Amino acid sequence: MINQQQAAAPVLAVSQLNVQYGAFQAVKDVSFEVHAGEIFGLLGPNGAGKTSTLSAIEGLLHPASGSITVAGFDIREQPLHARANMGVQLQATSFQPELTISEIIRLFASIYGVNLKDAAVKQKLAEINLEEASGKKISQLSGGQQQRVSLVISTIHNPQLVLLDEPTTGLDPQSRRQLWERMEHFRNNGHAVLLTTHSMEEAEAVCDRIAIIDHGRIIAIDTPEALIAQHRDDPAVLSVVRKGKVTLEDVFIGLTGTAVRS
């Protein structure tokens, strides 16, 4: 059944995307859509092409071919409009080390053209339990705390689409749960989230739909439950089942193989 949100135009549409590094093709004919009110996960072994796909959407690299629209804006034809509608989680290392975190939040708000009053900055910091740390420099925070700041910054302009590359890697269980809740809150307000993850538990817990990408190609795309149901009796999946019950990880390894990637 198609609900109203899915019938509406997608927030992100990637069509026949190809990314090339010299002679090497990292992304091959990748197509998928992410809708408002959806958390979409991109899963794949190391080197599968996840970050390359995200970089193309973010406009950080020029794809060899294919089209990408964000909120209906083609990223090549109307890059500023497309970018105004997306939030990208930056690495903490890209922030100015000499500024305090409240200064960094204010700086990015002004870059995005958002007028943030002192009370609003405080509120943002309180949301990520870092109110006490507002005068600290980014380098004085732990990795997980830095990640929380960078998530706040990525959504400061209330974008329709948020792109998160392995957002929970290195987080403790509490911070991971808090980040899941923030993503769900964002989704429930009608936004769209695209994330990459190596955690099958995370994909099952928060993703409405996932795409499995391997060697640059999408090899499966569906809800986690449907993927498990579809492949439950697949001999390649059954050969890797560990504890009797078929999990998303079994399906993932069944489809992508047991070999560790170089």
Ligand X SMILES: Nc1ncnc2c1ncn2[C@@H]1O[C@H](COP(=O)(O)OP(=O)(O)OP(=O)(O)O)[C@@H](O)[C@H]1O
Q: Do 102 and 135 touch, CB atoms closer than 8 A?
A: yes
DSSP state letter for 167: T
Q: Which of residues 94-133 bind Mg ion (CB under 5 A)?
A: none
Site stretch for ligand X (CB under 6 A), options 10-18, 48-56, 222-230, 250-258: 48-56
CA distance linking residue 33 with residue 48, whole number of Å: 19
Q: With CB under 6 A, what is the number of residues at the site for ligand X?
A: 11
Of 48 and 121, CB closest to ligand X:
48
- Of 91 and 174, nearer to ligand X (C-beta) is 91
Query: Of Mg ion, ligand X, none, which one does residue 10 interact with (CB within 5 to 8 Å by kind)?
Result: none
> Per CB under 6 A, does 47 bind ligand X?
yes
State the binding string over 37-76 for Mg ion (x if CB under 5 A, else -). -------------xx-------------------------
Nearer to Mg ion, 52 or 145 (CB): 52
- Cα–Cα distance between 45 and 51 in angstroms, integer? 11
CA nearest 182: which of 58, 89, 43?
Answer: 89
Q: State which residue, 45 or 224, has the beta carbon closest to Mg ion.
A: 45
Amino acid identity of 134?
Answer: S
Site residues (CB under 6 A) for ligand X, limited to 160-179: none
Phi, psi (deg, nearest 5) at residue 72: 90, -5
- C-alpha dist (Å) from residue 114 to 117, 125, 127, 165, 235: 10, 16, 18, 24, 54
Q: Is 147 in the site for Mg ion (CB under 5 A)?
A: no
DSSP category for residue 64: S
Which one, 55 or 69, has the nearer CB to Mg ion? 55
**Burial of 96 per CB tally in 10 Å (0-12, 13-18, 19+):** exposed
d(CA 222, CA 216): 18
Residue 197 in contact with ligand X, rule: CB under 6 A:
no
CB of 150 to Mg ion, least distance (A): 16
Candidates 1, 2, 3, 46; binder of ligand X (CB under 6 A) is 46
Please state, as a whole number, how many other Cβ atoms lie within 10 Å of the Cβ of residue 230. 13
Alpha carbons 110 and 159: distance in angstroms, whole number: 15
Counting contacts by CB under 6 A, is residue 21 touching ligand X?
yes
Could you list the residues that contact ligand X (CB under 6 A)?
A: 21, 24, 26, 44, 46-52
Could you list the residues that contact Mg ion (CB under 5 A)?
A: 50-51
